[in-house]
Structure 1
Amino acid sequence: MTAPADLQQLAVEIAREAGELARRRRSEGVSIAATKSAVADIVTEADREVEQLIRDRLARARPDDGFLGEESGAERGTSGITWVVDPIDGTVNYAYGIPSYAVSIAAVSGEPDPATWDAVAGAVFNPVSGELFRAARGEGAWLGDERLAVNAEPTAAGALLATGFGYDPTTHAGDLARVARVMPLARDLRRIGAASLDFAFVATGRLDGYFEPGLQPWDHAAGALLVEEAGGRVWREGGTAVRRLFVAAGPGLFDRLWRAASGAE
């Protein structure tokens, strides 16, 4: 079986190439291709082009692997490895010119089902900042030559947290109620708009914790591995795809954040 480090290296190389294409297309102007689950849930032409580039590069390098992409769906392979891809995480930011978006690529062991797979390698690349976060199972999470570590404990001022809100308006009341439960733990709250970067920032210690319902597999496959390899914890509550809750934090905060975000206290 291919070593996690080799899968990580491939993810890094393709993420950089894909990110450069996304950045170039953004500078040329964004064209909205379609909407998905709601009017606010958009797809740009660049999303589709970038995902096709990633898919082509992976097929050339590892033709027996499976693939699960945000824009093109799932395809099973025969190698036992599936690639889970978000070509542009933070599409609304991308469309508006907000420099918080990323290419997210993960290699997982097993079928394209997050309930059964084990993430083994991943890369999250922000082509605007040039930062590339990477991880391989058992080998840590990294930003360049810096090994990443989550914050063990929030400061006395409270935890710096991030969250996100779904596109379905019927979920917004629940989202706001969740924020109200969590705020006693927080010194402040951030809404970055790209789940892969939220996870990456927890892994680097730029955030103490992150919580959000409704994430899709490509939203968390690479980012959750970053947090775990940086010494943090990630939890996924069951339920429908829209209401499923993710929580990520360092060990000193995780239990309290989970209880508040999930309503268990």
Structure 2
Amino acid sequence: MTSPALARPSDTELLTLALDIASEAGRMIATAREGTVTVADRKSSSTDVVTQVDRDAEALIRHRIAEARPDDAFFGEESGGGEGSSGLTWVVDPIDGTVNYLYGIPHYAVSIAVVEGPADPAHWIERVGVVLNPATGETFTAVRGGGAFLGDRALSIPTPPALDQALIATGFAYDAELRGRQGAAVAAMLPRVRDIRRLGTASLDLCNLAAGRVDAYFERTLNPWDHAAGGLVVQEAGGVVVGRGGNAPSREFLIAVHPDLLASVEDLLDEIRA
């Protein structure tokens, strides 16, 4: 029988556990980066790489969760899913921004979310999110209904500028043909906005929006682990995270933005066939 204490933890307890696990994984990842990091395998394409550190970090995270919350489900980028009976699922990306990590670019993150329900954005309810950058030490957190934070600083997305003054973040798919179309769409967008940023880590792109560092973010072909934690940070900072036409975010599309800028961004994306 599932223990009531395990089945119904407080969000504060879940956040504390997620922070502890992310911090431990982050230390391991940062230490490994002091040595030589190489490609261990390729996944969906020749540019979609994984390092052994990705795998080791997810194994550590999965083990720590299983120790503390054996009845919870797990869904990770590297090792897939695991069944649970508590109604909670841990959605994990051990190193979001693996290519940045591989090259030593200090823009990558451990992303850990706890959701109620399955690892499906159309059906889950995000409860806790942690996004930690091991290279800089920045840690973003959010609890459903409890706000979003960068360290101890509460986050609130500022009132956005007009679209032509907006700084837009995006990312590209691994599929070569789709990347070509995305590049053409970005070229069409550039004259219509302040500028474009492509930093290579979806979870941190979302958190940058929550921190007011960009004004909007959109991307295609994201997986649940890419945006589960960062998406909650955006929502708790006052933003919206949606797919096209108000649907839930999915591999087809994700847009994150202040509500006042959503319609303008959607119209532009339609115009440029993004």
| TM-score, normalised with respect to structure 2 | 0.91
Please report how far the alpha carbon of residue 186 of structure 1 lies from its aligned counterpart in structure 2 after TM superposition. Answer: 1.8
Aligned in 2, Cα 1:182/1:217: closer, same or farther, shift over 3 Å?
same
1:255 equivalenced with 2:228 (yes/no): no
1:109 equivalenced with 2:121 (yes/no): no
**Aligned Cα root-mean-square deviation (Å):** 2.0
1:40 equivalenced with 2:70 (yes/no): no
State the distance in 2 between where 1:221 and 1:262 align: 25
Counterpart contact for 1:69–1:84, Cα < 8 Å? yes
1:60 equivalenced with 2:67 (yes/no): yes
Question: Unpaired runs of 5+ in structure 2?
Answer: 1-7
State the distance in 2 between where 1:264 and 1:42 align: 29
**Identical-pair percentage:** 49
Residue 4 of structure 2 corresponds to none
Residue 160 of structure 1 corresponds to 167
Residue 3 of structure 2 corresponds to none
Deviations 1:135-183 (A, max 9, x none): 0000000011110011221268601111001110110232124324533
1:201 equivalenced with 2:208 (yes/no): yes
Please report how far the alpha carbon of residue 214 of structure 1 lies from its aligned counterpart in structure 2 after TM superposition. Answer: 0.6
Query: Which letter does structure 2 place at the counterpart of 1:170?
Result: E
Q: Among 168, 180, 195, which residue is 1:173 paired with?
A: 180
1:73-112 aligned within 5 A: 73-112=80-119
Counterpart contact for 2:163–2:193, Cα < 8 Å? no
Q: Among 142, 150, 153, which residue is 1:146 paired with?
A: 153
Deviations 1:19-43 (A, max 9, x none): 1111111112102110000000000
Counterpart contact for 1:125–1:132, Cα < 8 Å? yes
Aligned in 2, Cα 1:264/1:28: closer, same or farther, shift over 3 Å?
closer
State the distance in 2 between where 1:194 and 1:264 align: 23
State the distance in 1 between where 2:84 and 2:193 align: 43
Query: Which letter does structure 2 place at the counterpart of 1:216?
Result: N
Please report how far the alpha carbon of residue 264 of structure 1 lies from its aligned counterpart in structure 2 after TM superposition. Answer: 8.8
1:216 equivalenced with 2:223 (yes/no): yes
Counterpart contact for 1:135–1:142, Cα < 8 Å? yes
State the distance in 2 between where 1:23 and 1:189 align: 29
1:178-193 aligned within 5 A: 178-193=185-200
Please report how far the alpha carbon of residue 114 of structure 1 lies from its aligned counterpart in structure 2 after TM superposition. Answer: 2.2
Number of residues of Structure 1 aligned to a counterpart in Structure 2: 264
1:224-235 aligned within 5 A: 224-235=231-242
Q: Secondary structure at the match of 2:139?
A: strand
Q: Among 15, 36, 39, which residue is 1:8 paired with?
A: 15
Counterpart contact for 2:163–2:265, Cα < 8 Å? no
Q: Secondary structure at the match of 1:99?
A: coil
Counterpart contact for 1:34–1:44, Cα < 8 Å? yes
Counterpart contact for 1:152–1:251, Cα < 8 Å? no
State the distance in 2 between where 1:33 and 1:52 align: 15
Deviations 1:10-63 (A, max 9, x none): 111111111111111111210211000000000000000000000011001100
Query: Which letter does structure 2 place at the counterpart of 1:201?
Result: N
